[in-house]
């Protein structure tokens, strides 16, 4: 049975930008949690500096990820019809707000740039990402968002 | 579920950014027992740097009975002053080495710093100004060139010492010379770059001339560059003039400047810049006697046993040893110049005490400092409230025309002030 999948509006040569870029901030935010944990246990400042860079890069790339995601979301009514798309978008909005706050916390000097508020926020972000990434994957692998339709459309 | 949480997150962000502690009257933080409010760690630290406008024909303000004039204008970052026995005035033009970027924060900080400091590139040299018999200054000429962020200067006999940011150099000097071309001989290395957070190395000599004392500031606000970067820093070094051997004379002094021996008691004093980002009214900067072997708290604690939670691992053993400084100057005034007044030109009310040059705050919304104050002394100890002496560095509408740094007393008893934003050396004397 031929199937017409929801289209990704922000795409290059049929490759959705959102799906291509999203792994970068996801990786950065998970790595931030790890380097925060290591700094918490060791107090070696290099780890806190790494957290700071990871957060900054994650947030900068997130600007593009959010733009591409929003364009896709607004570009096809069939995407908006999925409950998973709403949970994915709102959940990741929260991820970004928490990460911005976390970025400011990480500009503090030395131990309190991470412990306790910074590492708690980093951990919370990873927990939310587990939910939103699951929903994002559902959109692609179950609902075929951005997946090339069998009729070649 | 998600919507209320999102709203909560937004409210948290706005709320945390907006609320701040109640401001403290700076007068409550001047003297031996300053009021210390609870720690307030910011989400978004306030930074307020006034816009630089030139002096034009204007000058700082002095109280009745005093007058002020410019001794030299159009300098390149004049930071510190020294007066030779024949009355020649030396001016060190310097700025700090370029700071490496370790964190994204430092991009922003560098931009702010650029705004706060003089836009003129520093000379990194020492200039000489000679007063003629009528008290008129000569145009500045180059005394020693090609230095590395010079700050401290002191003459002992025929040996003239310069504290570059990374070494103490000795130059031969004969009375009346207006230029030294002989290369400097290194007496000792000082902690310099690649990170060189507090780069100004203050310098003085013991009254008997056998020892030098150098102020070596910390390499961070509060250990955020790691403890290895703090080796032998945040301290006053004692250097044997004959051998160059050195030891740590006192420690725990975050950024000690203006090293001077109090003329009556022959005790070493300094002004110290305390830590930032614990709130607009923490931690007060201070003026203190520097006791041999004493520990003044940095980084582990401030004003005695007030522990700083940002330092890890903590050291309760050192906190227990920390002694409080003598005289708080209020928060973030950035004292960089200190001189005791032992001359007779200024009215009696200004004799025997200490003048302090306050470079001025950058990390609080109510600006503090940006003036020269006088602290009366009795029997070698501060005795009474600090009084404003030279003000008017701030203009209206969040502008600044100058920032006082180093101080010195000239041969006629005038108070000299290096102004590194106005690029001027000012001279305060008794009004006729």
The string of pLDDT tens digits covering residues B45-86 is 888 888 999 999 999 999 999 999 999 999 999 999 999 999
Does the pLDDT of residue B5 top 50, yes or no?
no
The stretch B326-354 carries a mean pLDDT of 97
CB B331 within 8 A of CB B26: yes
Check: CB of residue B231 under 8 Å from CB of residue B195.
no
State pLDDT tens for residues B391-417.
999 988 889 999 999 999 999 999 999
The pLDDT of residue B357 is 98
Q: What's B53-77 look like in SS3?
A: CCCCCCCCECCCCEEEEEEECCCCC
Q: Do A105 and B313 touch (CB under 8 A)?
A: no
Distance from CA of B15 to the nearest CA of A (A): 12
A48 to chain B: which residues are within 8 Å by CB? 224
Residues of A with CB under 8 A from a CB of B: 43-46, 48-49, 52-53, 56, 86-87, 90-91, 93-94, 97-98, 100-101, 104-105, 107-113, 115
In whole angstroms, what is the distance from residue B45 CA to residue B364 CA?
8
* Chain B residue at shortest CA distance from A40: B312
Most A-contacting residue of B9, B44, B225, B307 (CB-CB within 10 A), to test interface: B9
The residue whose two tokens read 């910390």 is B218
Residue A68, classed as helix, strand or coil, is helix
Cα dist. A84→A26, A140, B84 in Å? Answer: 18, 11, 79
> What Å distances lie between residue A15 and A7, A25, A136, A141, B334, CA to CA?
10, 18, 16, 15, 56
Across the interface, which of A45, A91, A112 has its CB nearest the CB of B226? Answer: A45
A89-103, B20-34, B98-112, B389-403: segment of lowest average pLDDT: B98-112
Residue of B nearest to A57 (CA): B104
Phi-psi region of B392 (alpha: psi -120 to 50; beta: other; left: phi over 0): left
Pick the range with the lowest mean pLDDT from A43-47, A139-143, B139-143, B299-303: A139-143
Query: Inter-chain contact A110–B222, Cβ cutoff 8 Å?
Result: yes
Q: Tell which residue, A59, A37, A56, has the closest CA to residue A107.
A: A56
Provide the mean pLDDT of chain A: 94
Phi-psi region of B274 (alpha: psi -120 to 50; beta: other; left: phi over 0): beta
Asked whether B333 and B369 are in contact (CB, 8 A), the reply is yes
How close, in Å, is residue A75 to chain B by CA atoms? Answer: 22
DSSP-assigned letter for residue B137: B
The pLDDT of residue B8: 46
Report CB contact under 8 Å: A112, B41: yes
Percent of chain A at pLDDT exceeding 90: 89
Nearest to B418 by CA among B429, B407, B430: B407
CB contact under 8 A, A101 and B16: yes
* Domain covering B2-21+30-430, topology: Neuraminidase (2.120.10)
Chains A & B: contacts with CB separation below 8 Å: 74
Nearest-by-CA chain B residue for A97: B9
- CA B409, CA B373: separation in Å to the nearest integer? 15
Q: Mapping DSSP to helix (H, G, I), strand (E, B) and coil, where does residue B378 land?
A: strand
**pLDDT band per the 50, 70, 90 thresholds, residue B19:** low
Domain spans, chain B: 2-21+30-430
How is residue B426 written in tokens? 């000012």
Global pTM reads 0.93
For residues A14 and A152, what is the distance between their CA atoms, to the nearest angstrom? 11
The confidence band for B118, taking pLDDT boundaries of 50, 70 and 90, is: low
**Cα–Cα distance, B107 to B235 (Å, whole number):** 28
Element (H or E) spanning B397, and its range? none
DSSP characters for A119-146?
A: HHHHHHHHHHHHHHHHHHHIIIIIT-TT
Q: Which two tokens stand for residue B228?
A: 């290895």
> Alpha helix (H) ranges present in B31-126?
104-116
Q: How many helices (H) and strands (E) does chain B have?
A: 3, 32
Chain B residues whose CB is inside 8 A of the A56 CB are 104
How many Cβ atoms from other residues are within 10 Å of residue B301's Cβ? Answer: 25
What is the pLDDT at residue B2? 39
CB-based contact B45 A45, cutoff 8 Å? no
Rounded to the nearest 5°, which phi and psi values hold at A18? Answer: -55, -50
Give mean pLDDT, residues B225-252: 97
Which of A86, A108, A139 minimizes the C-alpha distance to B1? A86
pLDDT confidence of residue B116: 67
Q: Is the pLDDT of residue A122 over 60?
A: yes
A87 contacts in chain B (CB < 8 Å): 2
- Rounded-to-integer distance, Cα B198 and Cα B188, Å: 18
Best CA proximity match to B223, nearest among A86, A102, A121, A110:
A110
Within 13 Å, how many C-alpha atoms sit on residue B31's CB side?
A: 11
Least confident among B102-106, B144-148, B374-378: B102-106
CA–CA distance, A3 with B205 (Å, rounded to integer):
88
Task: Give me the long-range contacts of A135-140 (CB less than 8 A, separation at least 24).
Answer: A135/A84, A135/A85, A135/A87, A135/A88, A135/A91, A136/A22, A136/A84, A136/A88, A138/A84, A139/A79, A139/A82, A139/A84, A139/A85, A139/A88, A140/A19
For B131-147, how does the pLDDT look when each residue is reduced to its tens digit (9 = 90+)? 998 889 999 999 999 99
| Residue B233, pLDDT above cutoff 80 | yes
Q: Please give the Cα distance from B309 to B311 (Å, whole number).
A: 6
DSSP bridge pairs for B394: B400
Q: Please classify residue B368 by burial: count the beta carbons closer than 10 Å to its beta carbon, then call 0-12 exposed, 13-18 middle and 19+ buried.
A: buried
* Mean pLDDT, residues B194-206 taken together: 96
Tell me: ipTM over 0.95: no
């Amino acid at each position: 049975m031929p199937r017409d999948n929801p289209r990704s509006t922000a795409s290059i040569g049929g490759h959705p930008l959102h799906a291509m870029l999203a792994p970068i901030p996801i990786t950065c935010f998970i790595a931030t949690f790890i380097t925060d944990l290591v700094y918490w246990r060791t107090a070696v400042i290099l780890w806190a500096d790494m957290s700071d860079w990871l957060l900054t890069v994650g947030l900068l790339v997130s600007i593009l990820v959010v733009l591409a995601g929003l364009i896709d979301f607004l570009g096809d009514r069939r995407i908006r019809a999925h409950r998973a798309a709403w949970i994915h978008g709102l959940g990741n909005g929260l991820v970004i707000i928490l990460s911005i706050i976390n970025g400011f916390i990480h500009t503090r000097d030395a131990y309190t740039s991470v412990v306790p508020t910074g590492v708690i926020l980093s951990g919370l972000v990873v927990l939310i990402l587990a939910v939103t990434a699951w929903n994002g994957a559902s959109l692609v692998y179950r609902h075929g968002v951005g997946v090339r339709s069998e009729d070649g459309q | 579920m998600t919507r209320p949480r999102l709203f909560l997150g937004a409210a948290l962000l706005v709320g945390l950014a907006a609320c701040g502690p109640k401001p403290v009257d700076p007068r409550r933080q001047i003297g031996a027992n300053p009021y210390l409010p609870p720690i307030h760690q910011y989400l978004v630290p306030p930074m307020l740097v006034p816009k630089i406008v030139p002096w034009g024909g204007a000058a700082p303000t002095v109280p009745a009975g005093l007058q002020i004039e410019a001794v030299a204008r159009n300098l390149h970052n004049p930071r510190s002053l020294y007066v030779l026995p024949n009355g020649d005035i030396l001016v060190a033009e310097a700025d700090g080495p370029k700071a490496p970027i370790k964190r994204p924060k430092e991009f922003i900080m560098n931009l702010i710093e650029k705004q706060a400091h003089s836009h003129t590139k520093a000379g990194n040299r020492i200039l000489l100004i000679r007063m003629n018999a009528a008290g008129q200054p000569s145009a500045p000429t180059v005394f020693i060139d090609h230095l590395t962020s010079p700050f401290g200067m002191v003459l002992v006999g025929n040996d003239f010492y310069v504290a570059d940011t990374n070494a103490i150099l000795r130059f031969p000097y004969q009375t009346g010379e207006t230029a030294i071309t002989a290369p400097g001989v290194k007496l000792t290395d000082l902690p310099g770059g690649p990170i060189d957070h507090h780069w100004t190395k203050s310098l003085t000599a013991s009254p008997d001339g056998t020892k030098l004392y150098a102020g070596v500031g910390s390499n961070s606000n509060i250990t955020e560059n790691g403890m290895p970067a703090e080796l032998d820093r945040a301290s006053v070094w004692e250097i044997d003039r004959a051998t160059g051997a050195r030891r740590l004379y006192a420690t725990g002094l975050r950024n000690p400047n203006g090293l001077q021996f109090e003329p009556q008691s022959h005790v070493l004093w300094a002004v110290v810049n305390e830590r930032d980002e614990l709130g607009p009214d923490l931690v007060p900067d201070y003026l203190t006697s520097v006791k041999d072997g004493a520990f003044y708290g940095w980084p582990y604690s401030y004003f005695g046993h007030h522990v700083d939670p940002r330092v890890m691992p903590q050291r309760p053993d050192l906190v227990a040893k920390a002694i409080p400084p003598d005289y708080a100057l209020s928060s973030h005034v950035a004292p960089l110049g200190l001189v005791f007044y032992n001359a007779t030109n200024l009215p009696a009310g200004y004799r025997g005490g200490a003048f302090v040059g306050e470079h001025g705050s950058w990390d609080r919304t109510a600006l503090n400092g940006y003036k020269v104050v006088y602290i009366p002394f009795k029997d070698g100890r501060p005795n009474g409230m600090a009084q404003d002496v030279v003000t008017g560095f701030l203009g209206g509408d969040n502008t600044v025309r100058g920032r006082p740094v180093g101080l010195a007393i000239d041969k006629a008893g005038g108070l000299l002030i290096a102004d590194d934003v106005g690029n001027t050396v000012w001279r305060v004397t008794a009004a006729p």
